């Protein structure tokens, strides 16, 4: 049996590769070259060291053009349009699993393996994507757009583990990255300064403008729309309140704010809805951001458009974020909030 392991140079992917080799698989490690930076080069070097130590084949795939198109440009253009993006979801869908699947076919391998914290349950001719055993590490939200056909031939060896146990395993296997720190949320912005990254990669000028309430009354000034996201409370510099960002008006260069009730939603319109298996309508739970807990809801469809009706209002529902559907631990699918 042969498997392709997405080998990032971190502890999770390295441990996954070691687990699969211990299970008797012929392992091919695949590292993606996605952008140029000292950190990215270090990650490739770490992955090569792990591959050499495990005595497995190692391939580096250059996907810089696709990464720029599907992740970096998407990230910048979303903020330019007043939309809150999720680059990790798009990276999994358009890059990581696409490239791994292509390499699997080229190598005539049996499985794709990654270090994601999620679980898969394979039943005859379909697969169910499940949350990880460790709620704190669960990454199922970021995987909902990966096709069921690819997931049928995928394995997540860490799905039942806590991160502390993964590090113990890494130390047992002797990989040098056992204590390597976790990567940050957005890999191509290592210092977390989203605003500077957008300014440096955007042709648009983010100029100062007015902060207004829902009736158009001017309450203050903003420092450029790219500094704000829907649901944001801190950093508005307004007296009174508390105020939350309700919307960003790109044409008029306005930040529109409201009280908490004013930014609450009971019905969410979705676009680009996908299901891992068969389409589903009815009761479920949803997550409207990766960091929020699940909440009870119902999926409905009207004139070919999907909506989610929440059992209780949620505040800060942002265009561009992903609403993911769950039936207990199982991920049913999801869509982009429109």
Farthest-apart Cα atoms in the chain, separation? 67
What DSSP assignment string belongs to 197-219?
Answer: HHHHT-SS----EEEE-TT--EE
Given a contact cutoff of 8 angstroms between Cβ atoms, the answer to whether 312 and 244 are in contact is no
Given a contact cutoff of 8 angstroms between Cβ atoms, the answer to whether 107 and 84 are in contact is no
Residues in CB range of 208: below 8 A, 6 or more apart = 221, 222, 223, 224
Q: Catalytic residue numbers?
A: 91, 187
What DSSP assignment string belongs to 108-168?
Answer: T-SEEE---SEEEEEETTEEEEEE-S-TTT--GGGGTTS-HHHHTTEE-TTTT--HHHHHH
Strand stretches in the chain, DSSP E: 2-6, 26-33, 57-62, 111-113, 118-123, 126-131, 154-155, 209-212, 218-222, 244-249, 254-258, 264-275, 282-287, 295-302, 305-315, 322-327, 330-337
**Stated length of the chain:** 338
Q: Which among 304, 315, 143 is positioned nearest to 232, based on CA atoms? A: 315
Ramachandran quadrant class, 117 (left: phi over 0; alpha: psi -120 to 50; beta: rest):
beta
Paired strand residues for 130: 119, 330
CA 202 vs. chain centroid, Å, equals: 22
d(CA 328, CA 208): 45
């Amino acid at each position: 049996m042969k498997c392709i392991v997405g080998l990032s140079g971190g502890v999770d992917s390295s441990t996954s590769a070691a687990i699969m080799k211990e299970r008797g698989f012929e392992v091919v490690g695949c590292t993606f070259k996605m952008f140029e930076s000292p950190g990215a080069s270090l990650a490739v070097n770490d992955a090569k060291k792990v591959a050499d130590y495990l005595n497995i084949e190692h391939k580096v795939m250059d996907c810089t053009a696709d990464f720029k198109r599907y992740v970096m440009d998407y990230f910048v253009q979303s903020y330019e349009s007043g939309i809150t993006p999720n680059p990790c979801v798009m990276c999994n869908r358009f890059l990581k699993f696409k490239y791994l699947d292509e390499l699997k076919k080229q190598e005539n391998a049996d499985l794709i393996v990654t270090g994601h914290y999620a679980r898969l349950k394979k039943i005859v001719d379909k697969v169910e994507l499940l949350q990880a055993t460790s709620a704190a590490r669960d990454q199922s939200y970021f995987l909902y757009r990966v096709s069921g056909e690819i997931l049928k031939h995928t394995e997540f060896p860490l799905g039942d583990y806590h991160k502390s146990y993964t590090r113990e395993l890494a130390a047992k296997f002797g990989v040098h990255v056992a204590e390597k720190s976790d990567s940050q949320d957005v890999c191509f912005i290592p210092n977390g300064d989203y605003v500077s990254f957008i300014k440096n990669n955007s042709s648009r000028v983010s100029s100062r403008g007015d902060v207004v309430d829902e009736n158009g009354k001017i309450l203050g000034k903003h420092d450029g729309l790219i500094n704000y996201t829907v649901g944001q409370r801190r950093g508005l510099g307004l007296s009174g309140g508390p105020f939350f960002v309700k919307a960003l008006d790109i044409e008029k260069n306005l930040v529109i704010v409201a009280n908490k009730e004013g930014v609450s939603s009971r019905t969410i319109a979705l676009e680009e809805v996908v299901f891992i298996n068969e389409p589903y309508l009815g009761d479920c739970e949803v997550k409207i951001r990766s960091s929020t807990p699940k909440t009870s809801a119902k999926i409905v469809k009207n004139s070919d458009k999907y909506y989610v009706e929440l059992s209780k209002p949620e505040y800060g529902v942002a265009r561009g974020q992903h609403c993911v559907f769950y039936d207990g631990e199982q991920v049913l699918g999801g869509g982009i909030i429109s």
